[in-house]
Amino acid sequence: MDKQLLSPTNDYVFKRVFTEHHGLLRHFLLAVRHFPEEELRHLVITDPAFRAYKEYDKLPVLDIKMRTTSGIPIDMEVQQIFHEFFEQRMAYYTARMYVDKLQSGDSYGKLKPAISIVVTQFSFITNTACHNCFQLYDAKTQTAYPVCLEIHTLEIPKRRRNFGDPL
């Protein structure tokens, strides 16, 4: 009898694989973004839920929320189906991570760049690249803003199209 394997983009599988195998998690992060080796030496998986500032705040829960050695927050998401306002939701998650640790009276110097990585089973970016990295950028002057928010998209269908992989 053939056993049916769960997809690696299943939320449960995705979380188990990356939270239980820190070596694999480090390699994945290095494949997506350049980090100095020491930055990933002490990855800490943190509570995936944001705290509420006000009673009526949205309380998103991330798939895998972590912090690097120096405290850079990283969110890894997997999404099988495109939902309305998906792009806005990813921008919101990243912005919330950026300010989440800042308390009233804290120095803005405490802020660390916030990085989101989203793996999708669908294409939604209008180019052929399967990996895109979005940061704040002035299109008129072609100048990048110092890194504070960064969203990486990994679109599996484009990988299959470009390389014929069965992912």
Which tens digits make up the pLDDT trace of 88-140? 999 999 998 898 878 889 999 889 999 999 999 999 999 999 999 999 999 99
In the prediction, which pLDDT does 62 show? Answer: 65
**Percentage, residues of the chain above pLDDT 90:** 56
Q: Alpha carbon of 27 to those of 21, 84, 114, 165: distances in Å?
A: 10, 32, 19, 20
Number of H helices, E strands in the chain: 4, 8
98-127 per-residue burial string, b: 16 or more CB within 10 A, e: under 16: beeeeeeeeeeeeebbbbbbbbbeebeeee
In the numeric block, which tokens belong to residue 89?
Answer: 């939701």
* 23-32, 96-105, 147-156: segment of lowest average pLDDT: 96-105
* 1-15, 34-48, 124-138: segment of lowest average pLDDT: 1-15
Res. 49 pLDDT band, cuts 50 70 90: low
Judge whether residue 59 has pLDDT over 70: no
Tell me the backbone φ, ψ of residue 158, rounded to 5 degrees.
-70, -35
Contact 28, 18 (CB under 8 A): yes
Residue 131 CB-half CA count within 13 A: 7
Arithmetic mean of pLDDT, 4-24: 81
Res. 56 pLDDT band, cuts 50 70 90: low
Judge whether residue 50 has pLDDT over 70: no
Res. 152 pLDDT band, cuts 50 70 90: very high
Nearest Cα neighbor of 79 from 123, 20, 21, 125 is: 123
